[in-house]
Structure 1
Amino acid sequence: MSKAPSYLENRICLNVLANSVENAKECYEAAEGNILLGVLSKNYETDQAAIEDMKKYQEAIHNALSVGLGAGDPNQSKMVSRISGKLQPQHVNQVFTGVGASRALLSQEQTIVNGLISPTNKVGYVTISTGPLSSQMPKAEVPIETAIAMLKDMGGSSVKFFPMKGLAHKDEYIAVAQACAKHNFILEPTGGIDLENFEEILQIAIEAGVEKVIPHVYSSIIDQETGDTKPEDIKELYRMMKKVLSEKK
């Protein structure tokens, strides 16, 4: 590898899916280490199979591993917590109600653990009932600042705002970004992000004053034939990341 990961020091870090260890290495190099590579727990039958395979990714990309649920599937919450406790990755994706369990099993504060919250179509409010049981109930909608405080109570590091559908919930996203800036919390915009809207989504977060942004870019940059995330698209996203940051200076 060309260099150790630098995303912890940088204000913006990409999060994309890796289709294989080789694909993960290509994407890591394309972003010069400013990236987390998502591997989905849903793709494995057992905890042990997931742990054994994900260790290969960790070795190849300096542990820039993001343990994923799989399209935000709440039924993967417990598996994600269990395998993350064993793997000690740099990043964990969780539903809102799974954050505390993940942090407890990690037994340290360094790993970034996000909590999934969803749009409500009401500016300033988010849905936090994203767990295995709560997602089947009437939606629990709370002020975004309350959601952030609850995540902090549970040991969370960031909000994963999903599904954004690109800029379909732009006003809500602006409110979430402002709240993250106010409360010094990491923001992870997710869902429908592509090469066309990526720069604006980043600009909104940076202009709001968010200290760290981890945009998730998934299907829009995946080769439909091979299933690989395209390194050339990673390079373009990384160029835009640097552009947004340079304009803010």
Structure 2
Amino acid sequence: MTLQPQFYKDRVCLNVLANSVENAQDCYEAAKENIVLGVLSKNYETDEAAITDMKRYQAATNNALSVGLGAGDPNQSTMVTRLVGTLQPQHVNQVFTGVGASRQALGQTETFINGLVSPTGRVGFVNIATGPLSSRSTQAVVPIETAIALLKDMGGSSIKFFPMKGLACKAEYKAVAKACADNDFSLEPTGGIDLDNFEEILQIALDAGVKKVIPHIYSSIIDQTTGDTRPSDVARLFEIVQRLVTA
């Protein structure tokens, strides 16, 4: 079972939500396997139900499973840790304070684990108080370089910068991308990304020199009638990835 996500030209891997195993397969094929498929822990009543179902996604996509929280819900942090220790997926979404526990549960260094940090309105600074208790209190604002160092200490793989609201915090995002590049860390831009702003958001990360980028594109490409992520939109996103990475 492959534990590393597949990155196009070793640079970009898409992250989208999967509404069913069939939807996951269709999106996996649309991105020519350069993708991880998000399945949210919040959608399951028990660990057993989540593990049983998520194993079906793993079997259908060569383990391109991204275990999600559910809109960054910090209260899902411990459930995610319990799940990933058993599942051994390619990708794990975590709040900042949950990264160390998830890495320990995995027992290996290959699976990608992101650590969620939030914009602050100050360029070069992020909020790391994204855990179950810390998110209820005042912000813990630190330089982005400090957040990266702490995540490395905990066994994290990447910064999940959320919620970006598209390009609403463009200057902050550029600073995060530069810090990731300078400190050999991966980046996962998340929140409000759509077919219109995706190219600029990805280009910023690539221009900064970020080695590995995992953009999250969620609600904007979901069919509101079926709940499925549209494979045709995934194909369009992957065309943009191919063009920018090979430019």
TM-score of the superposed pair, with normalisation by structure 1: 0.97
- What stretches of structure 2 of length at least 5 have no aligned partner? none
- What stretches of structure 1 of length at least 5 have no aligned partner? none
Q: SS of the residue aligned with 1:207?
A: helix
Superposition map of 1:44-193 within 5 A: 44-193=44-193
Greater RCO (Cα-Cα under 8 Å, separation 6 or more): 2
- For the aligned residue pairs, the C-alpha RMSD in angstroms reads 1.1
AA at the equivalent of 1:84: V
CA contact (8 A) 2:41 2:67 kept: yes
AA at the equivalent of 2:55: K
Cα offset, 1:206, TM superposition: 0.3
The superposition leaves residues 170-203 of structure 1 with CA deviations (integer Å, 9 ceiling, x where unpaired) of 0000000000000110100000000000000010
TM-score of the superposed pair, with normalisation by structure 2: 0.97
CA distance in 2, matches of 1:15, 1:6: 11
Cα offset, 1:218, TM superposition: 0.1
**Residue 42 (1) aligns with residue 42 (2):** yes
CA contact (8 A) 1:5 1:33 kept: no
- Is the alpha carbon distance of 1:100 and 1:22 closer, same or farther for their aligned partners in structure 2, counting shifts above 3 Å? same
CA contact (8 A) 1:41 1:80 kept: yes
Q: SS of the residue aligned with 2:232?
A: helix
CA contact (8 A) 1:10 1:34 kept: no
AA at the equivalent of 1:46: T
Percent of aligned pairs with the same residue? Answer: 70
Provide the aligned length of Structure 1 versus Structure 2. Answer: 244
Segments of 4+ moved more than 6 angstroms = none
Cα offset, 1:244, TM superposition: 0.8
